[in-house]
Amino acid sequence: EVQLQASGGGLVQAGGSLRLACAVSGYSFDDYHIGWFRQAPGKAREGLASISSTDDSTYYQDSVKGRFTISSDDFANTVYLQMNSLIPEDTAVYYCAAQKFGRGAYYPPSKWNYWGKGTLVTVSS
C-alpha cells in the first residue's frame, strides 16, 4: 500500500520560509501525481499545488502562486513544497497526497485516495 509522510512544519514569523517534504513509499513514485493540501480550523481542505509524472507539469492555486514552489526528487521518492513570504493566513495543517491520474491537471481533494498525516504550519504576525 502506498504510504506518505509529510514533515517540515513548524512555527515561523510572517515573511519567513519553510520547506515541507513528502516521502512516498510502497509503489513506484513515477506512477503517481503528488499534491499538497492544507486545512485550517473550521475550513474545508483545499488544494495548493501538485506535480504530475505524466507530463511533469506543476499546478498552483491562486492563493499561493508566486510564493509556493513544488518540486520532486524522483530518486528519493520525495516531493517538496517550498513556502516563501508566509502570512498568517497560511496557518494550517498541511497534507500530501498521491493518486494516479490520466493526465496532468488540477484535481480537488476528493479525487485523491492516498493521504499522509499532516504537518502543522503556524505563521505568527
Summarize the confidence of residues 42-54 as an average pLDDT. 90
Chain center to CA of 87: 17
C-alpha grid cell for residue 66? 508566486
Whole-Å CA distances, 50 to 53, 124, 125: 10, 26, 28
Whole-Å CA distances, 44 to 26, 54, 66: 28, 28, 23
C-alpha grid cell for residue 47? 488544494
Res. 29: pLDDT tops 80: no
**Which band of pLDDT confidence, cut at 50, 70 and 90, is reported for residue 118?**
very high
